[in-house]
């Protein structure tokens, strides 16, 4: 099958036998119907990045509408832990030559996020730069428009971590994390780079793929890498020629992913792992941009947290 679109944007067509789709992503593919029309054919869906505990999902492709199972064995797909195969497919996804939207040549701000698995009060959590995200009871947009600034932490989360010499292949030296509902305030119209750095989990020799989704924006995917991201070296290899625009992107085991977006959509926007359990466990952040440009909020949306006289 030929991949032609990702997250609403045309891509340079490329042919795959197996297409990796991470939670939150969308793709369009073309299939040439030139096989024996008297036969049925298997379609199969497999889990990757974590050893499957469920059977392969199957469907039947039929020319005639016949529901009889094909006589062949359903395909198994690549091994669940074949990281390099998935990494190479990510790198191959670039903008279609006729639909390139060049990114701004440089960023005004760079946020480097180390993604780790940690513990808080003996419970397993996920954290960025040692901080596990929690949602406040009063929605950010309501709180900021109504001046309820004591409803969430006014201290911004850390923008980087001690990356020099950090071993992404080892469990975190400090397994404990803190919690915060603070957010990143972006200058309206500024260009922001975010680098997602994946690392080892609490158990040795374990790292998973995480699909990161940004609300309110598309972003340019500038590059991927394996190992520790070096801010002094790796930006020189960014793809500024034909990067694809997406709203969800994978960061692979022990790898990094770099993206760029323009903070030009007034509001408060979540950026988080699209595996919902991981977001709930702290793998996410929030951006605020141009909040003063948002019109007055209607009273009908009030009712959460302090806007309803409730607890924070």
Q: How many CB atoms lie within 10 A of CB 263?
A: 23
- Phi then psi dihedrals of residue 241, to 5 deg: -85, -50
Per the CB < 8 A criterion, the answer to whether 208 and 201 are in contact is yes
Q: What is the mean pLDDT of residues 176-184?
A: 96
Closest CA to 128 of 118, 119, 115, 117: 115
CA pair distance 64, 94, nearest whole angstrom: 36
Q: Give the model's pLDDT for residue 310.
A: 44
Closest CA to 125 of 201, 55, 71: 201
Q: Give the model's pLDDT for residue 309.
A: 55
CA pair distance 235, 16, nearest whole angstrom: 29
CA pair distance 310, 307, nearest whole angstrom: 7
**Which residues are within 8 A (CB) of 43 and not within 5 positions of it... i.e. 6 or more apart?**
58, 59, 60, 61
What is the DSSP track for 73-129? PPP--S-TT-HHHHHHHHHH--B-GGG--PPPSS-SEEEEEEEEEEEETTEEEEEET
| Three-state SS at 63 | coil
Domains of the chain: residue spans and CATH = 99-308 (2.60.40.420)
Q: Which comes out higher in pLDDT, residue 75 or 310? A: 75
Q: What is the mean pLDDT of residues 193-219?
A: 97
- Phi then psi dihedrals of residue 12, to 5 deg: -60, 120
Q: How many CB atoms lie within 10 A of CB 64?
A: 10
| Three-state SS at 296 | coil
CA pair distance 140, 185, nearest whole angstrom: 12
Q: How much of the chain, in percent, has pLDDT values that exceed 70?
A: 99
Q: Give the model's pLDDT for residue 305.
A: 85
β-pair partners for 233: none
What is the pLDDT of the chain when averaged over all its residues? 94
CA pair distance 152, 286, nearest whole angstrom: 12
Per the CB < 8 A criterion, the answer to whether 295 and 44 are in contact is no
β-pair partners for 28: 5
Q: Give the model's pLDDT for residue 166.
A: 95
Q: Give the model's pLDDT for residue 311.
A: 43
pLDDT band with cut points at 50, 70 and 90 for residue 51: confident
Q: What is the pLDDT of residues 273-296, one digit of tens each?
A: 999 999 999 999 999 999 999 999
Flag whether the pTM goes above 0.85: yes
Per the CB < 8 A criterion, the answer to whether 86 and 19 are in contact is no
Q: What is the pLDDT of residues 81-96, one digit of tens each?
A: 899 999 999 999 999 9
* CA distance from start to end of the chain: 51
Q: What is the pLDDT of residues 22-35, one digit of tens each?
A: 999 999 999 999 99
């Amino acid at each position: 099958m030929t991949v032609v679109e990702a997250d609403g944007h045309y891509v340079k067509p490329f042919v795959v036998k197996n297409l990796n789709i991470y939670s939150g992503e969308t793709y369009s593919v073309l299939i040439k119907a030139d096989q024996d029309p008297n036969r049925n054919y298997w379609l199969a869906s497999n889990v990757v990045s974590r050893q499957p505990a469920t059977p392969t999902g199957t469907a039947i492709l039929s020319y005639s509408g016949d529901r009889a199972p094909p006589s062949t064995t359903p395909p198994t797909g690549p091994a669940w832990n074949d990281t390099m195969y998935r990494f190479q497919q990510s790198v191959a996804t670039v903008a279609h030559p006729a639909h390139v939207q060049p990114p701004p040549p440089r960023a005004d701000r760079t946020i480097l996020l180390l993604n780790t698995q940690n513990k808080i009060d003996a419970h397993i959590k996920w954290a960025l730069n040692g901080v596990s995200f929690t949602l406040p009871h009063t929605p950010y947009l309501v709180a900021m428009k109504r001046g309820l600034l004591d409803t969430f932490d006014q201290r911004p989360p850390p923008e980087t971590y001690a990356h020099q010499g950090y071993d992404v292949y080892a469990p975190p030296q400090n397994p404990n994390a803190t919690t915060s509902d603070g957010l990143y305030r972006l200058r309206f119209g500024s260009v922001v780079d975010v680098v997602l750095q994946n690392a080892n989990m609490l158990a040795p020799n374990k790292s998973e793929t995480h699909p990161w989704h940004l609300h309110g924006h598309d972003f340019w995917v500038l590059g991927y890498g394996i190992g520790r991201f070096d801010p002094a070296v790796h930006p020189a290899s960014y793809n500024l020629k034909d990067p694809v625009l997406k709203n969800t992107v994978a960061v692979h085991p022990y790898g990094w992913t770099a993206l760029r977006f323009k903070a030009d959509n007034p509001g408060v926007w979540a950026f988080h792992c699209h595996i919902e359990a991981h977001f709930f466990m702290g793998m996410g952040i929030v951006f605020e941009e141009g909040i003063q440009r948002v019109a007055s909020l209607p009273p009908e949306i009030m009712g959460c947290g302090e806007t309803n006289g409730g607890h924070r």
